């Protein structure tokens, strides 16, 4: 296993280009199963999760070409396999997005219950199930697999509510929306996720011939069609990667221009940064943090509370990184996680770096400290690893971030990009990982 070694104390400076969105491209790739024609995807990020999804699609019989610096082409066969391999799906939760397209196109799908980041608790799939059942599928769990079967005449459009106690479900909406494109008649999804990644998937489906209205709102209507066709799609930029680099600029006090992003996808984050009195400028497709000394009196971030919510609220996928920023604030801030109430595994590791953090029920209290100091820390999930790298950039001495495979799931070439901005960061092989 690899670790990242970060030498703290260098101010980042320069420009960084944002890759395509991980959470947009994964369901878009799964949409290839809805057609026998070719789905061509431009701007796909080079990430372990994308490779995992392509592995699942290959295993189902799809022909996959391209990748690396080229567009990815996926062509599903006339009769895709209906069962996914446990080992492949257990690597990544988003591979569960093949369930809806497979059952819609072939009438049956057996998909292993997903793996992926645990985020501090159990991640249910009841919403995916509820939506497919509303479309007439029978869904059961057997031997660790979710087995969905369409009724004899195929899926039928229906009206349904897909909200959860924690807001809407992103991949739940994606799965059911994909299935409904080929269902007979009209589907109305109430409580649909409004995330830009769901909108991007919906637009890709529209380009394939799907009839969808209301994208980006909690009410999405889909009129089923008998088949979908070929598409060339360029996925949206990754708003979480963009937000992470903006926070990196804010923490190190450097002028960092984050290029090729969509600032409108980060409205709440930018509002919070303003409140924290972090100087930055915004252009049509860039955000640039301005130079300052974030440890100097009067230039430290102002303590700024955040509560995570579904889009357009503050994203849960930037909560850990925000916490890293708040460890430098000139006072105490409160972070409330409403999407995944237990997504706080990074706190213990930030504490190892000297952060003053504690839990009070559903809240995390963060008191800024004058300095962090490098230590060995362990990444528990993708965004937690990003937060630890950010903290390492401002900690004194070296921070060793272990189990860095998590970060490779969602950040393309993170150490190269940070190095290009002037960070001291290298990857090292760990022969014997600690056992807990």
Binding site for ligand EPU (CB under 6 A): 23, 26, 93-94, 117, 123-128, 164, 166-167, 169-172, 197, 316-317, 339-340, 382-383, 410
Please report how the helices 196-207 and 170-181 are oriented relative to each other, as an axis angle in degrees rounded to 10. Answer: 10
Smallest gap, in angstroms, from Cβ of residue 223 to ligand EPU? 24
Nearer to ligand EPU, 172 or 237 (CB): 172
Q: Exposed/middle/buried for 145, CB within 10 Å: 0-12, 13-18, 19+?
A: middle
Q: Which among 97, 117, 194, 261 is annotated as catalytic? A: 117
- 126 closest CA partner among 107, 135, 139, 144: 139
Q: Exposed/middle/buried for 123, CB within 10 Å: 0-12, 13-18, 19+?
A: middle
Smallest gap, in angstroms, from Cβ of residue 178 to ligand EPU? 13
Nearer to ligand EPU, 119 or 328 (CB): 119
Q: How far is residue 53 from each of residues 11, 25, 92, 286, 387, measured CA to CA in Å?
A: 36, 10, 8, 29, 25
Nearer to ligand EPU, 72 or 328 (CB): 72
What's the CA gap between 355 and 352, in Å, rounded? Answer: 7
Smallest gap, in angstroms, from Cβ of residue 38 to ligand EPU? 23
Q: Exposed/middle/buried for 226, CB within 10 Å: 0-12, 13-18, 19+?
A: exposed
Smallest gap, in angstroms, from Cβ of residue 152 to ligand EPU? 27
Smallest gap, in angstroms, from Cβ of residue 272 to ligand EPU? 17
With H, G, I as helix, E, B as strand and everything else as coil, classify residue 378. strand
Nearer to ligand EPU, 48 or 230 (CB): 48
Nearer to ligand EPU, 4 or 387 (CB): 387
What is the four-CA torsion angle of 216, 248, 335, 383, rounded to 10 degrees?
Answer: 70
Smallest gap, in angstroms, from Cβ of residue 95 to ligand EPU? 9
* DSSP letter assigned to residue 96: G
Query: Do 382 and 119 touch, CB atoms closer than 8 A?
Result: no
Smallest gap, in angstroms, from Cβ of residue 21 to ligand EPU? 9
Smallest gap, in angstroms, from Cβ of residue 389 to ligand EPU? 14
Measure CA of the first residue to CA of the last residue in the chain; give whole Å.
15
Nearer to ligand EPU, 253 or 315 (CB): 315
Q: In what order do the strands lie in the sheet with 306-307?
A: 306-307, 332-336, 363-367, 356-360
Nearer to ligand EPU, 172 or 392 (CB): 172
Name the token pair of 248: 């990196």
159: enclosing H helix or E strand? strand 159-161
Query: Do 183 and 154 touch, CB atoms closer than 8 A?
Result: yes
117 has catalytic annotation = yes
Nearer to ligand EPU, 33 or 372 (CB): 33
Smallest gap, in angstroms, from Cβ of residue 11 to ligand EPU? 27
**Bridge partners, residue 109, by sequence:** 148
- The H helix count followed by the E strand count for the chain is 14, 23
Long-range interactions of 378-381: CB distance < 8 A, separation 24+: 378/349, 378/402, 378/403, 378/434, 379/349, 379/403, 379/404, 379/406, 379/407, 380/345, 380/346, 380/349, 380/406, 381/117, 381/118, 381/119, 381/345, 381/406
Name the token pair of 385: 């690893």
Specify the pairing of strand 424-429 against strand 72-75: unpaired
Nearer to ligand EPU, 145 or 166 (CB): 166
The catalytic site residues sit at: 117
């Amino acid at each position: 296993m690899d670790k990242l070694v970060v030498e703290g104390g260098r101010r980042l400076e320069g420009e960084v280009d944002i890759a395509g969105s991980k959470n947009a491209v994964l369901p878009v790739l799964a949409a290839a199963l809805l057609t026998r024609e070719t789905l061509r995807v431009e701007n796909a990020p080079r990430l372990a999760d994308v490779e995992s999804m392509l592995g699942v699609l290959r295993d189902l019989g799809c022909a996959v070409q391209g990748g690396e610096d080229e567009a990815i082409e996926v062509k599903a066969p006339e009769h895709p396999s209906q069962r996914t391999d446990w080992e492949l799906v257990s690597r990544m939760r988003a591979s569960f997005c093949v369930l809806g397209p497979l059952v819609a196109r072939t009438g049956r799908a057996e998909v292993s219950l997903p793996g992926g980041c645990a985020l501090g608790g159990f991640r249910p799939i009841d919403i995916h199930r509820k939506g497919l059942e509303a479309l007439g599928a029978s869904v059961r769990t057997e031997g660790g697999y979710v087995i969905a079967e369409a009724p004899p005449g195929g899926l039928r459009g229906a009206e349904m509510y897909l909200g959860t106690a924690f807001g809407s479900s992103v991949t739940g909406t994606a799965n059911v929306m994909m299935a409904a494109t080929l269902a007979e008649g009209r589907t109305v999804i109430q409580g649909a996720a409004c995330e830009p990644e769901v909108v991007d998937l919906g637009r890709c489906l529209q380009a394939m011939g799907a009839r969808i209205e209301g994208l980006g709102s909690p009410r999405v209507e889909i009129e089923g069609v008998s088949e979908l066709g070929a598409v060339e799609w360029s996925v949206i930029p990754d708003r979480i990667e963009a937000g992470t680099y903006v926070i990196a600029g804010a923490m190190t006090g450097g002028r960092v221009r984050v290029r090729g992003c969509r600032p409108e996808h980060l409205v709440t984050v930018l509002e919070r940064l303003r409140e924290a009195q972090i100087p930055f400028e915004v252009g049509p497709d860039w955000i640039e943090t301005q130079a300052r000394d974030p440890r100097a009196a009067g230039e430290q971030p102002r303590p700024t509370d955040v509560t995570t919510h579904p889009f357009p609220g503050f994203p849960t996928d930037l909560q850990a990184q925000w916490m890293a920023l708040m460890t430098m604030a000139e006072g105490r801030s409160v972070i409330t996680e409403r999407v995944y109430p237990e997504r706080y595994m990074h706190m213990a590791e930030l504490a190892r770096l000297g952060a003053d953090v504690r839990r009070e029920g559903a809240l995390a209290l963060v008191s800024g400290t004058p300095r962090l100091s490098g230590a060995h820390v362990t990444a528990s999930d993708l965004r937690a690893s990003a937060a630890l790298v950010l903290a390492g950039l401002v900690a004194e001495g070296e921070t060793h971030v272990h189990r860095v495979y998590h970060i490779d799931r969602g950040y393309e070439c993170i150490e190269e990009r940070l190095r290009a901005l002037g960070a001291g960061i290298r990857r090292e092989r760990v022969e014997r990982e600690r056992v807990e």
